[in-house]
Structure formats: C-alpha cells, structure tokens
Amino acid sequence: MRHFRSVNIIFVLWNCIQNVKPVANYDDHNATVLQNENGMLRQSILEEMLSTYDKRFPPHYNDVIPVKVKVQMYVLSVFEIDASEMTFSISMFLRQEWVDRRLQFETKDNLLNISLDNEITKEIWVPDLAFTSDTHTYFHELTRPNRLMIIYPNGKVVYSIRVTGKFTCFMDLTKFPFDEQRCPIELESYGFTNSIISFQWTEPAAAFRDDVKHSQFELGETQSYTRNLTYSTGTYSSIGVTLMFIRRYEFYLIQIYAPSVLVVMLSWLSFWLDVDAIPARISLGILTVLTISSNGNMSVSMAQRVSYIRAIDIWNSVCLILVFCAVMEYAYVCVSVRVHQRRKSETSSSDIEICNNNKQMKHGFQTEKQSERSYDQLERETARTVDKISRVAFPLVFFIFNCVYWLYYMT
C-alpha cells in the first residue's frame, strides 16, 4: 500500500508540472507574436508612407509658412586650437528637429516612434544645412554612416549626424597670453530662402560632454544668435553660436615671467659690487642682457607672429630695458671715475714739472696733492651714491610696472 501511495503522489506532481509548462510557453508565444506584429506594423507604416512620399520637396513647400528647423550641437571634443592658422577643430553631434506632416501615422499597440535605417533615411527629406565658417568638414562613416533618424506619430522628425570640422577664428592676441578668444560657428540654408526654411536654436545651442577639456584653453560660456543674411539670390536664414576659449597662462608664468623676474633681480647685484670690480660687473651685465634676449625670442616662438604689440612683448621689452639700464648705470659710474683719474694724472705731471723749475713751491705742491686726494675720495663717494640710488630706484620702478601690468591684464 505504501508503494502504491508513492506512485500516486509522483503521478499527481507530474500532472502539475505538465499543466504549468503550457502557461509559460503561452506567455513566450504571445510576446513573440507581439514583437512580430510590431515589426510588421513598422514595416507596413513605412511602406505605406514612402509609397506616396516625395523627398524632392520640403514640407509646406506649397504653403506660405516656412519649415521651422530646430538645431542643437552636442560637442564631443575640442582640439587643435591653432593661433598660427587662426583655426580650431571640434567633433560634435549635429541635431536637427522639424515637423513633416507627410510622415504622420496612427499610434497602435504602444508604438511611440519609428527608428529608420540609413538606407531608409535617404528616402526622407532633410534640411540643406551648411557650415559657412569652416575650412574642412567631414561626416563619420565607420563602421556605418553615423546618422540617426526617428519619426514620431505627429510627423516630428529627429535627425542627428556626427560631424568633425575645422573652423576659422580670427583671434586677437593683444592680451596674449592672458587672452580670451571668441570663435563663431555659423550655419545657414544653402539652397532655400527664409520663406521656405527657418532655422532656430534649441537652447542650450552648444552642449558639451562632461569630460570635454583642452590642454591650453578653458571652455567658457557660449552665446547663440539668429539672423537673416541677404545675398544677390535672396534672403537666407542663418544661425550661429560663439564659443569662448580662455587661455591657460600657468605655463607662461613658469617658463617666461618667473625667469624674467629672476634675471632682472640678478642685474641689481651689480649695484652692491665695488666700482673697481670691473670684470664682475661687466660679466653680470652682459649675462643678464643675453638671457633676457633669449627669453624674449622663446616667447615669440610660442605664438603667431603678429604686426601689433602683445602683452608678453611689453613685458619682455620692459625687462630688457631695465637690465640694459643697469649696465648703463655702471658704464656711467666707471666712465666718471676714469675721467677723473685721467685728469688727475695730467694735473700731477704738470705740477711735477713746475716743481722742478721752482724748488720754492714745494710746500704749495704738497698742499695741492692733499686736495687732489680729497677730490678723488669725493668722486668715489659720488659713484657709490649713484649705486645707492640705483639700489632703490630700479626695484621701485620694476614694482610699479608690475602693479600696473598685472592689474591691467588680469582684470
């Protein structure tokens, strides 16, 4: 009896399992059928839609109302900001959005939108948006053309393409290396006037990916604008966005400004050396002048050569003038002492000749010799006084120049 009951229990459990499996199979079957129906629904909608669609004509082509196209740029990277060529390069997603009533369809079975393949995208009309400030632009084609198009039931079309281009930017380097460059990117319709197509920005006009950075510039705020441009063929809708690039100047502080300050301060050491230390003072002066000159040449090679004066040119020029004036100060002191010594030697030789002719003037000669010594001490004291004044005047002038320079260019 026990064996018979065990067999009955196993039989009941087996029947339960068999009854559960068909339910699962039924759910999977319904999901598969639903997916197939949605796929067939999309295909049937597209086939019916494209059977009467003509991509040669824009929406509202026979109406007075122009097609309103909303545009947005999503910047992926910024690179090659070249001051020598006055260009910059960026890679971005160029997004466009408009409404085409010919693409409207009824919503069925929670079908919210239809994503199109690249081949089908070729059968849909798209705006002829063109860059007017670029020198070279290309669309990404790997592994397939980087294009996206989504159609919504109300006829709204979302179109996105990946673009990389090099754009012109007329940079003002007057405040280099503390400059801020504003570079525009302008777009407009190439073949349709503003009576057919009207472009507008979707704010923010230029959105940046979180990790977008540049080694030499910081990205500032963007400014968008919309305008109409009139040519001989008509008036066209144009939009533009201005990107701000703020230069990072830490590199120039370390490589240009800090060494210049040290060299200028080094030139002041000659004011503490003795007047008779001719080799030391001359060597120090020549060394500082040559160092400042080479430092200025290095700063010129770091940026585009322009015909106007830049901030870094003013700095290098003032540092060179201060170092050169330090050399001239010693030249003035040295020449004044040498001239006095030459005059003293000439006076002494004439006095000796007069003394030999007249022995009685010996006492007067000794008195005059003592006065010459006191005059020599006076000349040396004058030279030391010039050095003492220079010890204060040169640092003071350099300090005032720094205050004016940094307040002007940093504010």
pLDDT band at 18 (very low <50, low <70, confident <90, very high): low
d(CA 57, CA 234): 19
CA pair distance 220, 306, nearest whole angstrom: 25
Report yes or no: 186 and 236 within 8 Å, Cβ to Cβ: no
Percent of all residues in the chain with a pLDDT value above 70, rounded to a whole number:
80
Q: Which of 36-50, 139-153, 353-367 has the lowest mean pLDDT?
A: 353-367
CB 102 within 8 A of CB 53: yes
pLDDT at 354 over 60: no
CB 355 within 8 A of CB 366: no
Residue that the structure tokens 């503003």 belong to: 194
Please give the average per-residue pLDDT across 245-267, as a whole number: 93
In this predicted structure, the answer to whether residue 161 has a pLDDT above a threshold of 80 is yes
Taking residues 45-59, what's their average pLDDT? Answer: 89
Angle at alpha carbon of residue 399, lines to 398 and 402, rounded to 5°: 85
Give the C-alpha separation, 67 to 5, whole Å. 80
Q: Is the pLDDT of residue 127 over 70?
A: yes
Q: Determine the Cα–Cα distance for residues 134 and 185; give it in Å rounded to an integer.
A: 8
Residue 377 pLDDT grade (very low, low, confident, very high; cuts 50, 70, 90): low
Predicted confidence (pLDDT) at residue 35 exceeds the cutoff of 50: no
pTM of the model: 0.76
The amino acid that residue 53 corresponds to is: Y
Return the residue matching tokens 């050569």: 305
Q: For residue 23, what pLDDT is reported?
A: 40
pLDDT score of 165 more than 60: yes
Strand-pair partners of 241 = 185, 224
- CA–CA distance from 134 to each of 87, 130, 166 (Å)? 9, 9, 6
Looking at the DSSP assignment, which residues form a beta bridge with residue 71? 96, 201
Please state the φ and ψ torsions of residue 394, each to the nearest 5 degrees: -65, -50
CA dihedral for 96, 99, 100, 105, sign (positive or negative): positive
Mean pLDDT of 93-107: 92
Are the C-beta atoms of residues 165 and 90 closer than 8 Å to each other? Answer: yes
What residues does 15 pair with on adjacent strands?
A: none
d(CA 238, CA 199): 7
The alpha-helical segments, DSSP class H, found in 157-215 are none
- Least-confidence region, from 2-6, 138-142, 253-257, 298-302: 2-6
User: Across all residues in the chain, what is the average pLDDT?
Assistant: 82
CA gap 314, 409 in Å, rounded: 11
Q: Say which DSSP state 273 is in.
A: S
Residue 197 has pLDDT above 60, yes or no: yes
Residue 410 or 371, more confident: 410
The first and second tokens of residue 95, run together, are: 């997004």
Half-sphere exposure of residue 342: CA atoms within 13 angstroms, side-chain side: 6
N-to-C CA span, the chain: 102
